[in-house]
Each structure stands twice: as C-alpha cells, then as structure tokens.
Chain A
Amino acid sequence: MFLQETTANTFNYMILGFGVILGVIVFYLISLVARFRKLNQDLELLNEIEVDGRK
C-alpha cells in the first residue's frame, strides 16, 4: 500500500536541471564576451593615447 508501484515522473526536474546548466553556461559565455569587449576598448584607447603622444 505504501510502496510506489509506478515510476515517478521526474520530467519537470530534468527540464529544470538542463535549464540551470544551460543558464550557467550562457551566463559564463556572456561574461567572457563582456570581458573581451572591455579589453578591446581599453586596447583601442591605449593605441589612441600612444599615437597622440607621438604627435
């Protein structure tokens, strides 16, 4: 009576798990892109300063 006779439906938990993994990976990807952009901006700025300094 107290024993479960059918397999529990864990589909929603599986979707939630995959969602979390995807979310974490996408968040990390966005952080990498943001850091790339910031460093490229810094590099451009430094190049401009260097060129201005030579003039």
Chain B
Amino acid sequence: MNGMAIGLVFTFANIVSGSIWARPIWNTWWTWDPRLVTASIMELIYIAYLLLRQGVEDPARRARFGAVYGIVGFISVPLTFLSIRIFRTIHPVVIGSGDPLATGSFNRVPEMCVAFFFSLFTFTFIYATFLWHRLRLHRLAEKVEHMKMKVVSE
C-alpha cells in the first residue's frame, strides 16, 4: 500500500515528463500509443485502488478487498512493460534495446547508459527514502487510531 502510493507519484511524474519529451521528438504532447495508454490505465487502476481502500470502513474487509484488487490490478504492470514489444508502437525500447523484434529498438550509446543508471540509482534512493517515511507515517497513524479507541472506551 505504502510502496504503491509512491509508485503512483513516480508514474505521474513519468507520464508528464514523457509527454514533455514527446513534444520535440514526436511533435505532439500526446498520442494514443500503446505504451502511453497502458501506462495511463495503470495509473488510473492504482488511483482506483487508493479510492477503494479509503471507501471501505471495516479494516478486515478493506485489507481483503485491497489484496484481491491489488493482485488483479498488478496485471497492468507487466502489460505496460511489454506493450512496446507486443504491439506496433513508436515508443523507444529503453530496457533491452538490442531486441531486434522490438519496433522501437535503438543502439544505446555509453552517455545514455550513464544517464540511465544515474537516474535509476537516484530514483531508487528517493523511493527508499519516501518508503521509510511512509512506514513511519503509517505507524504514527496506527498509534493515533489506537489512542482514539482507548479514549473512546474509557
């Protein structure tokens, strides 16, 4: 749940910055390319997951519904990753770009590798930091909930 919320923030930044990248490269802010569509659907699926969790009061039911929805919703993650390999697309294949079957394959030059691995390391670090703070926040929320129950029962 905590990791998913951070993933939602990162995916949003990814879609918006991707749109900015597309403007000079594809000459448009948005196109109905399979990768863009599947990434947007994935974002919407996880927004719905957050809404679902907020909408169910009972903690046990919330956890059960959230788990089932999370498993079903996760199908969108590999689908988004593979969309540029399965469907005909103009989106470049960044990971495994040497794959000749991929429509958008290209030769990645060393400078691009440096930028890619620097970004990978940086965003992994930011993700881990956010996750740690989210877990602290979650524990604090549980403590507040416990105190509320205690005060109400007295």
Evaluate contact between B13 and A20: CB separation under 8 angstroms: yes
Those of B114-143 within 8 Å (CB) of chain A: 126, 130, 133-134, 136-137, 140-141, 143
Distance between Cα atoms of A29 and B52 in the complex (Å): 23
User: In the assembled complex, which residues on chain A have CB atoms less than 8 Å from the CB atom of B126?
Assistant: 25
Evaluate contact between A46 and B148: CB separation under 8 angstroms: yes
Number of chain A interface residues as a range: 20 to 34
Interface residues of A (CB under 8 A from B): 8, 10, 13, 16-18, 20-21, 24-25, 28, 32, 35-36, 39-40, 42-43, 46-47, 49-50, 53
24 examples of A-B residue contacts, CB within 8 angstroms: A8-B24, A10-B25, A13-B23, A13-B24, A16-B20, A17-B17, A17-B21, A20-B13, A21-B13, A25-B13, A28-B130, A32-B134, A39-B137, A39-B140, A39-B141, A40-B140, A43-B144, A46-B148, A46-B151, A50-B147, A50-B150, A50-B154, A53-B151, A53-B154
